[in-house]
Amino acid sequence: MAQHGLRERKKQATRRMIADVATGLFVARGFDAVTVAEIAEAAGVSKMTVFNYFPRKEDLYLDRHLDRLRELESVVRDRPAGEPVATAMRRYHHELLAAQHPLSGAIQGVLGFWTVLQSSPALMSRMVEQEHEIAEMLAGVLAEESGDEFAARLTANLLTATITTIFHTAVARIIAGDDVEQVRRDQVAVIDRAFDVLERGIGPGRDLHHSDG
């Protein structure tokens, strides 16, 4: 019952190796132009083994999803008692940005990442699906807390819409060729603007003057 025997270590290593080999091929030639058979051969492994680790071809590229899902869950679950979800999520996104985390979107690497992503409708579709899974997860956690299924789902969906918009905003600017450092600086305000709208609503009659830093 050794949870960390030779077997488990080898599996993790193999998994990483396959994903890395695949990513290399995708970056070089585009997602659709690379077949799973090729990946298997390049990784020195059988096709079945590839599908053994990654149920879909898209998961070879979007393999950080589960980590992200778990991290977002803990942001909500482990926030200080009584703190609004939006507050915790806002803080978390400022931290991502400060740490220059890839998921902040404001980092040089996203250009290559997004290029591959755009090279395949299937990949784009899978990413949208993953965003949907995030919303589902949040809805579940919030429903546990409040018991109000409808409010939980609404909050979860609005929250997800907010964070995907933040991410997409950074990516779009970097794709457009803006200076990464500049984008990174601007994202601070973007995050605050987005969460302000989430918290105060899109309706009229509010004061939206921001002294932009």
Q: Could you list the residues that contact its own copies (CB under 8 A)? A: 84-86, 125-126, 128-129, 132, 135, 149-150, 153-155, 157-162, 164-165, 168-169, 172, 190, 193-194, 197-204
Which residues lie closer than 8 Å to 91 by C-beta, 6 or more apart? none
Binding residues for DNA, rule: CB under 7 A, are: 1-2, 5-8, 10-11, 14, 34-37, 44-49, 51-53, 55-58
Burial of 163 (0-12, 13-18, 19+ CB in 10 A): buried
Nearest CB to its own copies, comparing residues 10 and 200: 200
CB of 64 to DNA, least distance (A): 18
Residue 35 binding target from its own copies, DNA, none, CB below 5 to 8 Å by type: DNA
CB of 20 to its own copies, least distance (A): 26
SS3 state at 177: coil
| CA gap 18, 22 in Å, rounded | 6
Q: How far apart are CA 120 and CA 56, in angstroms?
A: 14
